[in-house]
Amino acid sequence: MLLKVENAKAYYKLEKVSVKAVDGVSFEIFEDEVVGVVGESGSGKTTLSNLVSMNILKPLTLVEGKILLKINGEFKEISSMSREEVKKKLWGKEVTIVPQSAMNALMPTIRMAKYVEHLAHSHDLAEEKLLAKAEKRFEEVGLDPLWLKRYPFELSGGMKQRAVIAIATILNPKLLIVDEPTSALDVVNQRVFLKVLMQLKRMGIVRSIIFITHDIATVRQIADRMIVMYAGKIVEISSMEEILRKPLHPYTRGLLNSVLTPEPEIRKRGISVIPGAPPNLISPPHGCRFHPRCPHVMDICKEKDPPLEEVEEGRRVACFLYSEERR
Ligand code: SF4
């Protein structure tokens, strides 16, 4: 195992209210796996990625729970590290996050090499050595190292995204978190990017990958397991194979049935939409947060929050349809 998240709650604490963006999630990431985290907008996926990488900036606050990462063979509670410690010891080397739209956040007036120099300074490393590593990494992701001397606007979208990944992985982070990395790319560049990700993993440059997306059709191509989030909670965790074959949680079923996919099992079930909209996370519904939209809602669902329970080996679901409690 590489990472353990135990009952983590992360809220955006505003002046009078709190937005419960991630509300009591527990899961693990194993070594050498790709985990897709899926859900609609506002389900808490991006907050979860910030949490796992300890990119916690006010008003986001970790109000409860622990995040543990294996560092040098031992689990360390990274959620108790100071921001300075996180910057020095964690980012780049242990965990790297490539945030949503990272490629569009590149300053048009700063050459790509400058980002490598910044990285060298922040980790007290020799600039020249790191630039040499960056040249190699550019080649590994299929880019000419000469592009390091160019400005971001001179690169196409697909090239920029690969350049961002190359720079983000220079220090060989064990865990790479990518948030919606393919949403701004065309289909051809999406495929190239997924290939690059898998190559970085095969080469041992990164050990495990968390792929955050709303796009199940993309993540199913590379993920070993899937975590489904709804309204700040994890509702289902399963191997990709099993979840595509037989989604258990009503929300997962709705999500899978609302996408076009070549999967015969899903095609057979047809396309449908989930009625309604995700709840407001300032005051989410009592009980199961999906109950106002669920076609199987029961009385208990309106009163109690269903716990995430193991229903088969390696498969967990938070739904009273599968729980002993309703029987
Ligand atoms: Fe539907 Fe109840 Fe399951 Fe929630 S707990 S998903 S409301 S059946």
Q: Cis (ω within 30 of 0) for the bond into 59?
A: yes
The H or E element containing residue 45 is: helix 45-52
Is the predicted pLDDT of residue 169 greater than 90, yes or no?
Answer: yes
Indicate the top mutation candidate among 319, 323, 324 to test ligand 1's pocket, ranked by most ligand atoms within 8 A of CB: 319
- Cβ proximity of 270 and 317 under 8 Å: no
Domains of the chain: 3-326 (3.40.50.300)
Task: Output the CA torsion sign for 133, 135, 141, 147.
Answer: positive
Pick from 230-244, 255-269, 277-291: least confident:
255-269
Residue 139 identity: E
Q: Please tell me the distance from the alpha carbon of residue 206 to that of residue 161, in angstroms, as a whole number.
A: 17
Q: Is the CB of 230 under 6 A from ligand 1?
A: no
Residue 92 identity: G
Please write the tens of the pLDDT for every residue from 200-210: 999 999 999 99
24 CA distance to ligand 1 centroid (A)? 17
State which ligand 1 atom lies nearest to the alpha carbon of 294.
1
Please write the tens of the pLDDT for every residue from 31-88: 999 999 999 888 999 999 999 999 998 999 999 999 999 999 999 999 999 999 999 8
Residue 75 identity: F
